[in-house]
Amino acid sequence: MSTLTDVLWLTTSPSLGCFNQPLFEYLVPRVRVQEWKCYPNEDKGGCLDAAVSRLHHYLNYQSKKLHLIGHSTGGLLGLLYTCKYPETVESLTLLAVGADAAVDWQSIYYEHIPFKNRASVLNSMAYNLFGYQDKYTVKKLEGILEQDLNNSLSPHSLYKKVSLRPTSVKVPLLICGSYDDIIVEPDMVRAWQPYLKPSDRLILCPEGKHFFHFFQPEFISTAMLNFWRHHNLHQQFPDALQKYSVRLTQGESLC
C-alpha cells in the first residue's frame, strides 16, 4: 500500500483507541488511512489548543488536503482545527459529536460524581456506554474508563465543565450518531441540522450506543466511503464492501 494518506484519524485517548480497530480494519484495505495520536502531558491546561497547533504542524507537511475523522473528543479536536484551518482539510467526519461538541462521557461522569462514589459511577458508565456485558468485561471496561479519566484530552474536570456553541464549517461535513447513545443523544446530533450545508450529511446508526463505530463498523464505513466518493470524483473509492461484523460473546474481551 502507498505511504500516502487520504484519511487521518484523530485519537486523543490511549485507552479508548482500541474501540477504533474494527472500523480501521474495514477502511485500511480501501483507503489510505493513518492514525494521528495526541495525548496530554501531566499539565492538562490548554491541551486542546496545543493539540490544534501540533496537528497544524503535521498537516502543513502533507502534499494534499486530508479527510479528518474523530470520535468524541477526537471529533472535537477535528472540529476546532477545521474551523481554524479549513484550507488544509478535505472533509471532516464527526462520530458521537453533538451540536455542543464538548459533550463527552466524562462530562456526564462529572455530573454524577458529587453524589456517588467513583466505583459506582464507573460501573454505571460502563453499562451506559456499552450495554449489558458479563462481569469480566464490565470490570475491564471500568478500568479502561478510569484510564481515560486520567489521560485524555477531554476538557472536563470535577471543577470545570465546558460547553461550545455549534458552528458551521467550510468543508464537507459528515456527522454520525446512534439512536441509543445516551451520552450524545439523537436530538443532540440532529441539533446540527441548522448549521449544515447542502453538501453535508447526518446519519444515525440503529444501535451501538456511544461507541457505535465499534459495534457497527460496516454501517459507518459504508457511510464514510459514500460520503468521500461523493466529494472526491477524482479518487477511486470502492463501491462494494465485503462483510465484516463484530459481535461480543460471553467472556470475550472488548479490547
Question: For the whole model, what pTM was predicted?
Answer: 0.87
Residue ranges per domain, the chain? 7-102+168-231
Task: Quick: pLDDT tens for 42-68.
Answer: 444 448 999 999 999 999 988 889 999
Q: How crowded is residue 91: how many other Cβ atoms within 10 Å of its Cβ? A: 25
Task: Quick: pLDDT tens for 152-187.
Answer: 888 888 788 888 898 999 999 999 999 999 999 999
| Fold entry, domain 7-102+168-231 | Rossmann fold (3.40.50)
Q: Is the pLDDT of residue 251 over 50?
A: no
